[in-house]
Amino acid sequence: MSPTLAGILFIGSLVLALALTHRPLGDYMYRVYTGTKHNAVERVIYRAIGVRPDAEQKWSVYARGVLAFSLVSVLFLYGLQRLQDKLFLSLGMAPVTDHVAWNTAISFVTNTNWQAYSGESTMGHLAQMAGLAVQNFVSASVGMAVAVALVRGFARNRTENLGNFWVDLVRGTLRVLLPIAFVGAIVLVAGGLVQNFAEPHTVTTLTGGQQAITGGPVASQEVIKELGTNGGGFYNANAAHPFENATRWTDWFEIFLILLIPFSMPRTFGRMVGQVRQGYAIVAVMATLALAGVALTNVFELSGGATVPQAVGAAMEGKEVRFGVSNSATFAAATTLTSTGAVNSFHDSYTPLGGMMTMFNMMLGEVAPGGVGAGLYGMLVLAVITVFVAGLMVGRTPEYLGKKIGAREIKLASMYFLVTPVLVLIGTALAMGSAEQRASMLNGGPHGLSEVLYAFTSASNNNGSAFGGLTVNTPWYDTALGLCMASGRFLPIIFVLALAGSLARQAPVPESAGTLPTHRPQFVGMVVGVTIVLVALTFLPALALGPLAEGIH
């Protein structure tokens, strides 16, 4: 079988698996988020944290819940890292330095999982499990909760109520993420991943040197890292490490986990607004962008358009031999399209245009299909903007799902899409404008620029993958990227929730022949077009001086 055909089969089987699972999972999540019953465990939790689970919240209260929970999480995670030497299961690791601890705390709470540290040599088991892995669950659940709140804004009428953040958070964690993670972890262990509490093994290598091989609760963290589109690896090498990603099969399964929830959320959305076809339209937009992203990354990598790959016959630098070019490219596209940021190969070593695709995927705003929850709400904001322009063109005040898109809605949607480009561009400009920060670049020329651009794109979009090459564990980068992660996560969430509140207050406009249909291919094409054009127009100058300058000859 030729590598290209194998790559196509790999992608095709993923598409098939997702097509089969998105519906039952989407329906299940619909029931989870609309159900009225609380199980015993949940009731205990609600009593413990003092929440009345049946009390509805208006948008500002919901947003306060998100922010308060996240703030507590950051402080807890920061403390855990700084004090890890005083606690158990630290494996003798020293306290994490202050700027790395802050950066890591923000990173995991914002579902970014940017890692300014090397996992196996910085974090003990307690910090990994009680800190990072817990955040892998709850930060994902926060994203889903916000998405569900926005969907309720569309689905509900004449109300201030958007649901209860604490209930959504608990249900998302206990009913959606935990069960899938449990099954997934067993599959991964069966696939060859490690799961133990053993002390590092010290082995003698072939050359006679000593090497410490760290084991740990890897599979359990790996599964939620992918499932929750987190991306923070147990090991520094992330999913390129054989203990995190043993074979092509685990590779396939991990990509499947990455895409599973983001591609199922539109189904949940369709069910909640009572029009399944609207969900299909959204999933179609996501799938179109995702397939294009995967295909182009593969094309650029397989054609190996750079000097060294041409010389050696394939763009294998930075890629694992057990995965090969195509599967690495597919993983890279999936992880950048979903704000996961796990890597099984090193994007820094990609061909210039392949590397550009990983950036472009993130620059789409992490909407295709994006992070768990975050992808859906980002895509819905883009749909709102598309509806606004398209709606004017059919001669009516634009409306989406029966809700008018007026000045307030467009203001919130605009502020949403302003946040990340502004963070990316200003961050990159500040870093490139300072000789001191430029010194962190491994390479000169356009490739060095790409390294910096990638870092800020990844942090601001809450992706968390690193291009590599750039030395980022300096106080400046830790602080700047931490600010990008926090602003890139919470400002959009506030705008989305405010938008949800504004939509829920409205009375619905009945659909008629004069209403812009938002479930047809025509609309899908428009959202795809608006997304690409907005991104291209915003980032073309920066991309021109980075990967394009390097890649076009």
Partner 1 sequence: MSTPVIEAPGRTPAPRKKVGGGLLDPAQLVRSLPAALVKLNPVHMWRNPVMLIVEIGAVFSTALAVADPSFFAWAIVVWLWLTVIFANLAEAVAEGRGKAQAATLRAAKRDTTARRLTDRRDPDRWDDVGASELRQGDFVVVEAGEIIPGDGDVVEGIASVDESAITGESAPVIRESGGDRSAVTGGTKVLSDRIIVQITQKPGESFIDRMIALVEGANRQKTPNEIALNILLAALTIIFLVATVTMQPLAIYSKADNPGIPDSLALTGDGVTGIVLVSLLVCLIPTTIGALLSAIGIAGMDRLVQRNVLAMSGRAVEAAGDVSTLLLDKTGTITLGNRQASEFVPAPGVSADELATAAQLASLADETPEGRSIVVYAKQAYGLREREAGELAHAEWVQFTAQTRMSGVNVDSRQVRKGAATAVMKWVRENGGHPTDEVGAIVDAISGSGGTPLVVGQVVDGKARVLGVIHLKDVVKQGMRERFDEMRRMGIRTVMITGDNPLTARAIADEAGVDDFLAEATPEDKLALIKREQEGGRLVAMTGDGTNDAPALAQADVGVAMNTGTSAAKEAGNMVDLDSNPTKLIEIVEIGKQLLITRGALTTFSIANDIAKYFAIIPAMFAAVYPGLDALNIMRLTSPQSAILAAVIFNAIVIVALIPLALRGVRYRPSSASKLLSRNLYLYGLGGIVVPFVGIKIIDLLIQFLPGMS
Burial of 387-421, coded b for 16+ CB within 10 Å and e otherwise, reads bbebbeeeeeebbbbbbbbeeebbebbebbbebbb
In the bound state with partner 1, the residue whose beta carbon lies nearer, of 203 and 552, is 552
Radius of gyration of the chain (CA): 22
CB of 280 to partner 1, least distance (A): 17
Q: Considering the complex, state which of residue 15 and residue 418 has its C-beta at the smaller distance from partner 1.
A: 418
Smallest gap from residue 431 Cβ to partner 1 (A): 8
d(CA 550, CA 354): 11
In angstroms, rounded to a whole number, what is the distance separating the alpha carbons of residues 353 and 351?
A: 6
Q: Are strands 210-213 and 201-204 parallel, antiparallel or unpaired?
A: antiparallel
Q: Which CB sits closer to partner 1, 157 or 471?
A: 157
Q: To the nearest whole angstrom, how small is the minimum distance from the Cβ of residue 352 to partner 1?
A: 10
Angle between helices 374-393 and 521-543 (to 10 degrees): 110
User: 450 vs 462, which CB is nearer to partner 1?
Assistant: 450
How does strand 399-400 pair with strand 403-404?
antiparallel
Residues that bind partner 1 (CB under 8 A): 385, 388-398, 402, 405-407, 409-411, 414-415, 417-418, 421-422, 425-426, 428-430, 432-433, 438, 444-446, 449, 507-510, 512-517, 520, 522, 526, 529, 533, 536-542, 544-546, 548-549, 551-553
C-alpha angle 127-129-132 in degrees, rounded to nearest 5: 65
In the bound complex, what is the minimum distance in angstroms from residue 296's beta carbon to partner 1? 17
Backbone angles phi, psi at 210, to 5 degrees: -100, 135
Residue 20, CB half-sphere, CA atoms under 13 Å: how many? 6
Cα separation of 111 and 540, whole Å?
A: 27
Q: Which residue's CB is nearer to partner 1, number 143 or number 427?
A: 427
C-beta closer to partner 1: residue 194 or 384: 384
Tokens of 26: 């989407």
Cβ atoms of residues 246 and 355 within 8 Å: no
Q: Which is nearer to partner 1, 327 or 518 (CB)?
A: 518
- Closest contact distance (angstroms) between CB of 413 and partner 1 is 8
Nearest distance from C-beta of residue 319 to partner 1, angstroms: 25
Cβ at position 400, least distance to partner 1 in Å: 13
Total Cβ atoms within 10 A of residue 178:
15
Query: By three-state DSSP, how is residue 506 classified?
Result: coil
Q: With respect to partner 1, which residue has the nearer C-beta, 369 or 546? A: 546
How far apart are alpha carbons 220 and 243 in whole angstroms?
Answer: 12
Find the shortest distance in angstroms from Cβ 490 to partner 1.
19
